[in-house]
Structure 1
Amino acid sequence: MYLADRTWPQLGEAMDGESLAVIPLGSTEQHGPHLPLATDHLIAESLARAASGRTGHVCTPTVDIGVSAHHKQFHGTLWVDPPAFRSYVESLARNLTYHGIDRIVFVNAHGGNVEPLREVGRRLREDRAAYAIEWMWNDSIPELVEELFEHPGPHGGPKETAMIMHVARELVDEDRLGDARDGGVVDLENTDSRKFGARTFYDAIDNSENGVFGDQTDATPEKGKQLFEAATDRLVALLEWLDDQPFEDLMPEPHVGTDRR
């Protein structure tokens, strides 16, 4: 159920007794010469809407701009700093609790958002306001990603390329897949990104001239459909599991030696 498409009287009926919501989050940042800046938030919204459509849970509008300063050298990249992102997302989550939501899944498609989202989830849980967890699509299906791609790449690689081929193929410049591969880095292990155990890079451009990794020529719409359907199934399973949990079982354990609430 996509919240923004409903009227408030419709939502009053639809949300009666509803306790779970999904918030899709992504970024607006470079994804190489072949993919749109919208890549991450398109993937997040598509998965969130598909899973919420199957389960009937609330899906909010998408948070399109995330923690992306590490892509700032490339044209068009937009970002907010982590404290601003955390504050915004926490405020949004607390809005939902006002309407009776007490468990939230952050459907995330951007690595830079992970740590801030975990911090928001911890604060909400410590306050007993809600149980909120971060879910990353490719982390839910690692075996399939490994099976489909020899070099999936951590950013702008064939896994993301295939997903966008499936959800918005018209936005993929398929004539530039070879350019993306040849102008980027196929295997991150081949970069000089660590010295004596220390990470020596901060921005994507420090490792990849065109900002992407992996072999983009290995992407197809058919592989994108496989990824999308498998990830959606995993998200549906997570939503169904979370919806079944008693709220008290999701809250922090008491101090050792005290009785449970």
Structure 2
Amino acid sequence: MYLADQTWPDLGDYVAEESVAVVPLGSTEQHGPHLPLATDHLIAEGLAREAAARAGFLCTPTVNVGVSPHHKQFHGTMWVDPPEFRDYVESFSRNLTYHGVDRIVYVNAHGGNMQHLREVGRRLREDRAAFAVEWMWDESIPDLVDDLFERNGPHGGPKETAMIMHLAPELVREDRLEEARDGGVPVFEDADPYRYGARNFYDAIDNTENGVLGDQTDATPEKGEQLFEAATEQLVRLLEFVDESRFEDLMAKPHVDPQPGSRR
């Protein structure tokens, strides 16, 4: 069920019985010469809406702009600063709790959002407002990603290329796949990202001139479909787990005994 397509009475029927919301989040940022800036939010929305439909839960509109200043040198990249992003996500999450939602799964497709979504989830849990958890699609199926691609790359690589080939093939510039590979860095370690134990870069352009890593020519629509189906299955399982768990079991555990002040 997609929230924005419903009427308010329809949603009233939903929250009278269910308390789970699926929130897709991505970014609008460069993904090399071959993929659209919409890559991350297209993946997030595709997975969120499919899993919500299969599991029978509510999916909200997508957050299309995320924490992406590390791609700022490339045309068109949009970003918000981390504090504003966290506050925005927390604010609309508390809005959902007002309507009866107390379990939220952030379906995330952008690495720059990860730590900030986890911080928001911690805030909501500490306040006992909701159990909100960040889910990153490729982290749910690491073995399949490794099996499908010899040189994957963490950004704009074959896994994201294959996913967009599956979800929105008309947006992939297939005539630029070799350009993406040859103008980027096929193997991330070859960029020499660490020196003497320190991460020596802040922006993507510090490592790759065209903004991407991995061998994009290894992507196919069929591999994208495999990734999509496997990740959707994992997300459905997570949604069902969150739904079936008692709210108390999802909250922070109490302080160990003896309780503070109990012997005063």
TM-score (structure 1 length as normaliser): 0.98
For this pair of structures, how many residues does the alignment match? 259
Q: Structure 1 counterpart of 2:114, which letter?
A: V
Q: Structure 1 counterpart of 2:60, which letter?
A: T
Using the alignment, how far apart are the partners of 1:133 and 1:88 within structure 2? Answer: 16
Using the alignment, how far apart are the partners of 2:91 and 2:145 within structure 1? Answer: 34
Using the alignment, how far apart are the partners of 1:134 and 1:13 within structure 2? Answer: 26
- Equivalent residue, structure 2, for 1:103: 103
Alignment of structure 1 residues 8-23 onto 2, 5 Å: 8-23=8-23
Using the alignment, how far apart are the partners of 1:138 and 1:245 within structure 2? Answer: 24
Using the alignment, how far apart are the partners of 1:19 and 1:68 within structure 2? Answer: 31
- Equivalent residue, structure 2, for 1:79: 79
Q: Give 3-state SS (helix, strand or coil) of 2:18's partner.
A: coil
Q: Structure 2 counterpart of 1:2, which letter?
A: Y
Alignment of structure 1 residues 127-142 onto 2, 5 Å: 127-142=127-142
- 1:248 is aligned to 2:245: no
- Equivalent residue, structure 1, for 2:262: none
Shift of 1:192: 2.3
Using the alignment, how far apart are the partners of 1:234 and 1:135 within structure 2? Answer: 10
Q: Which runs of 5+ in 2 are unaligned?
A: 260-264
Q: Give 3-state SS (helix, strand or coil) of 2:134's partner.
A: strand
Shift of 1:258: 5.4
Deviates more, 1:190-199 or 1:170-179: 190-199
Using the alignment, how far apart are the partners of 1:152 and 1:233 within structure 2? Answer: 22
Using the alignment, how far apart are the partners of 1:198 and 1:102 within structure 2? Answer: 40
- Equivalent residue, structure 1, for 2:148: 148
Shift of 1:10: 1.4
Shift of 1:220: 0.2
- Equivalent residue, structure 2, for 1:2: 2
Q: Give 3-state SS (helix, strand or coil) of 1:223's partner.
A: helix
Q: Structure 2 counterpart of 1:215, which letter?
A: D
Using the alignment, how far apart are the partners of 2:162 and 2:5 within structure 1? Answer: 28
Using the alignment, how far apart are the partners of 1:146 and 1:182 within structure 2? Answer: 21
Alignment of structure 1 residues 219-230 onto 2, 5 Å: 219-230=219-230
Using the alignment, how far apart are the partners of 1:119 and 1:14 within structure 2? Answer: 28
Q: Which runs of 5+ in 1 are unaligned?
A: none
Q: Structure 1 counterpart of 2:220, which letter?
A: T
- Equivalent residue, structure 1, for 2:124: 124
Q: Give 3-state SS (helix, strand or coil) of 1:63's partner.
A: coil
- Equivalent residue, structure 2, for 1:175: 175
Deviations 1:30-85 (A, max 9, x none): 00000000000000000000000001111000000000000000000000000000
TM-score (structure 2 length as normaliser): 0.97
Deviations 1:112-149 (A, max 9, x none): 00000000000000000000000000000000000000
Deviations 1:153-201 (A, max 9, x none): 1000000000000000000000000000000000011112211000010
Give structure 1 regions of 4+ aligned residues with deviation exceeding 2 angstroms: none
Deviates more, 1:32-41 or 1:249-258: 249-258
Q: Structure 1 counterpart of 2:21, which letter?
A: A
Identical aligned pairs, as a percentage? 73
Q: CA RMSD in A?
A: 0.8
Using the alignment, how far apart are the partners of 2:237 and 2:104 within structure 1? Answer: 14
Shift of 1:15: 2.5
Q: Give 3-state SS (helix, strand or coil) of 1:43's partner.
A: helix
Shift of 1:14: 2.5
